[in-house]
A and B are shown apart, each in its own frame.
Chain A
Amino acid sequence: MTGPSRRALLQGAAGLAALSACSSGPEQGSPTTAYGVHQAGVTTAQQGFGNLVVLDLHHAPIVPVLEALGEEIERLVSGRAADVPEPGDLTVTVGVADPGLVLPTFARDTFGPEHCGGDLVLQVCGSDPVAVLAASDRLTRDHAVRWSQLGFSGAAGKDGFGRNLLGFHDGIVQPRGREELSAGVWGDDGSTVMVVRRIVLDVEGFNDLAVDQQEAVIGRRKSTGAPLSGGHLTSPLDLAAKTPAGAYLIPVDAHVRRAHPLATGRPLMLRRGYSFAGEQGSGLLFISFQRDLAEFIQTQYRLDAGDALNRYLRVTASGVFRVLPGFSASRGLGASMNADR
């Protein structure tokens, strides 16, 4: 693969960065709408289940496919589709391949061509896994599936955060509020860049470590989620804190240090991943949304160069897509693709 794409390529109309009320995070379980400035399923409060499906269109024209998907999505989430009579908080997020978005090959990539690329991605999320799967079937019926993965979230503890399969809190440092979302997540045209990585974890090997060794690998306490630099679950990391003998309190190769955006000079990406388990192994279905793909790439380079967690993971599927701007009854999902072409 070629080098990183450093800038988002689509430059749409400016001034659409305002958050839509429709996509700013409904209560879990309540009905959603597919319409808005942005697509649902990005800043939507994370539901319990997510199904990621990458499709091949085999040279079928993409705009009619998107128009049909958009109409079907609105029927599904509003409860008007016969296949999914009770959609609950179902959301569907659609991304398309973009020649300007290319991921370099990273150190722990172990997938073949059948587990990267693809023309289109659907992220179908909801609190009801049955609705998620039924909606996925409905939407992919006429298309070839390249790869897919169903994921689930750990239940939120009393601190409000779930745990991943390593038993640690995850997704704590996130962009919040309009300013951080505009800086790090939404493009000017209302689109965003989506990176998906199926990361198989060696849970058994990790669990062979004593808990304090696990905490050194992650950089947080397993029980409370507090950073090793002190405080509580949501305290900011103090990356400079040291012992009197000069060692970092958060070790130099701790995952949270290597993944922290401060050192990359880039804004914060939004992470919205799911755990998975099954024939493909078990691990993290990493999903991130960012305005500029460089936010992910620079972070992944830092992880490659020195994350203690690398020993316990390999990536078995990968992709990058442009999540199109939001749509409406009058301006369909494919409208922005039409304008570009």
Chain B
Amino acid sequence: MSKARHVRSSGAHIRRGSRAGRLTLAIAMGGIGMLVFPGAQQAGAAGDDGTVSVRVVREINANGIWDHTAPILEPGLPGAVVTVTDPQGHTQSGPTDDQGQLTLDPSTSSLTGGKYRVSVSNPDPAVFSPAFAAASPTAGQTSLSPSVDFVDVSGGKPASITTGFWNPSDYTQDNPRIISAHQRDAVYGVGAGSVYTDIYAFNRQHGTIANSYASGSADSGFYVGQCLHCDIVVTDNVAEYNAVGYESANSTGVSVVRNRFSRNRVGLTMSSDYQEAFAPQRKAIVAGNVVSDNNEAQTPEQADGGFGIGIGLGGSTGVEVLKNRIEGNRSAGLLVSPAEDLAAKDNTAKGNVYAGNGTDLAFWSSAQSGGTQANCLERPAGATTYPRPWRAVLGCESGRGPLNDAEDIAPFRTVPGPAGIAFLDVAPPGLLPTMPGDPASVPYRRAQAPDPIDIGSLTVPPRTWLAEAARRSAR
């Protein structure tokens, strides 16, 4: 898996914005509008207009902001054609230079009125999409404008616009998966057996994955990863007969609530992975889920050997595991471990019900990641633990222990998993519930922030939660 972050040639080979170049360009564009002869001011031109400065950049991480300092550099995009149009349809245009910049002076053109439409054409629609604008840029950040915007340069006021184009493969894996929760408000009723991941939200923000079913994946049934401020809710879904039911890597701000992750090899993981951007895994809520019997042999194998694990936190920071029913997982109900040099720290487990797991709560640490860091993993009465005894630095009941216990705890050994079966051989689900109403009538909407989750009102779900959507054998 390689991140294809290289900058591909845009394919646009339009000459720079010299006078001759503009002439050539206007012809190349089909001669629509007026040919522009800068310097030769024409009758009716608004001689007192300010300049229109446009910067076109390569949006790399799809955050709607022009990132021009390390670690993410979003360079200028040369050769993007900028067209300024007045209400009468007169135009002035030119391509961006090597730095992705172009300044047009409407006062030297036939444009009149001072209020203009500015459009930037996509230099290569096969490669680029227009970038999204940031929902809420903070002070000092340059939020990207849409590729069509409006300026007022009357009275000599200059205007400047920064916009961008985005190639999804700049910052996504080169094996895009079956479907993505693509800044939409919901994905309903999707059931598919795919090679890797069924429902895959990579580098996405602001959305809900709900009421879906996933089975037969060699990676995970559901995946949300590589997002800062993800603002994604995953709710009321069923994942069964996958290598992993649900997986997050390097996400910040995901809530996984009231799902059923049952009969996979591993129920749910939240982990840090240097192979993708934005490590470590931070801040997430895993609440009110049924995570049970994740010892299923009739699935593809989990390639790293995972088996019999309910919830796994790997090198994560600040993940809250609350009010879940975690039962019948043969290795461990909740397994908290380091990933490379990233320790698991500040994670919380409270209000969960454990039963019939190989070990209910398991924790280990490494010298490589700086020993044992403080976590708050509540041990209900009767729950089994590794290590035994549960140490002060891990438990909640005795309060937080010392912040950093340099001594590391030897790795917890999971139950070895049987050989996997091909994803094509995973039995299909039965008839699944359909979404209410007529699916064709659901309107497409731009992303909306998901509704906030009221964790306080959640309760530990019954064993049968969402079982009607599970295979009969798995209820």
Contacts and interface: CB of A to CB of B under 8 A. Distances in A.
A264 B302 CA distance: 21
Q: Which of A236, A252, A262 has the most CB of B within 10 A?
A: A262
Q: Interface on chain B toward A: helix, strand, loop, or mixed SS?
A: loop
B264 to A, nearest CB: 12
Nearest to A297: B368
B420 A104 contact: no
A177 interface: no
A301 interface: yes
Nearest to B3: A262
Contacts of B303: 242, 246-248, 252
Interface stretch (B40-48, B124-132, B153-161, B421-429): B421-429
A175 B218 CA distance: 32
B340 A245 contact: no
Interface in A239-290: 239-240, 242-248, 252, 262-265
B274 A245 contact: no
B367 A104 contact: yes
A242 B218 contact: yes
A298 B340 contact: yes
Interface in B437-459: none
B274 A265 contact: yes
Contacts, number: 71
**Chain B interface residue number, banded:** 20 to 34
Interface string A202-241: 0000000000000000000000000000000000101110
Given A240-B1, A298-B340, A246 B301 contact: yes
B302 A3 contact: no
Contacts of A291: none
**Chain A interface residue number, banded:** 20 to 34
A20 to B, nearest CB: 26
A250 to B, nearest CB: 10
A297 to B, nearest CB: 8
Nearest to A237: B2
A264 B340 contact: yes
Contacts of B368: 4, 298, 301
29 contacts: A3-B367, A4-B368, A104-B367, A236-B2, A239-B275, A240-B173, A244-B218, A244-B300, A244-B422, A245-B301, A245-B420, A245-B421, A246-B299, A246-B420, A246-B423, A247-B301, A247-B303, A247-B420, A252-B305, A262-B274, A263-B273, A263-B274, A263-B275, A263-B340, A264-B274, A264-B340, A265-B274, A265-B279, A265-B341
Would you list the 3 A-B pairs with minimal beta carbon distance, nearest first? Answer: A246-B300, A265-B274, A240-B1
Interface of A: 3-4, 104, 236, 238-240, 242-248, 252, 262-265, 294, 298, 301-302
Given A242-B300, A298-B368, 15 more contacts: A3-B370, A242-B196, A242-B303, A244-B218, A244-B422, A245-B300, A245-B421, A248-B303, A252-B305, A262-B2, A262-B274, A262-B275, A264-B340, A265-B279, A298-B340
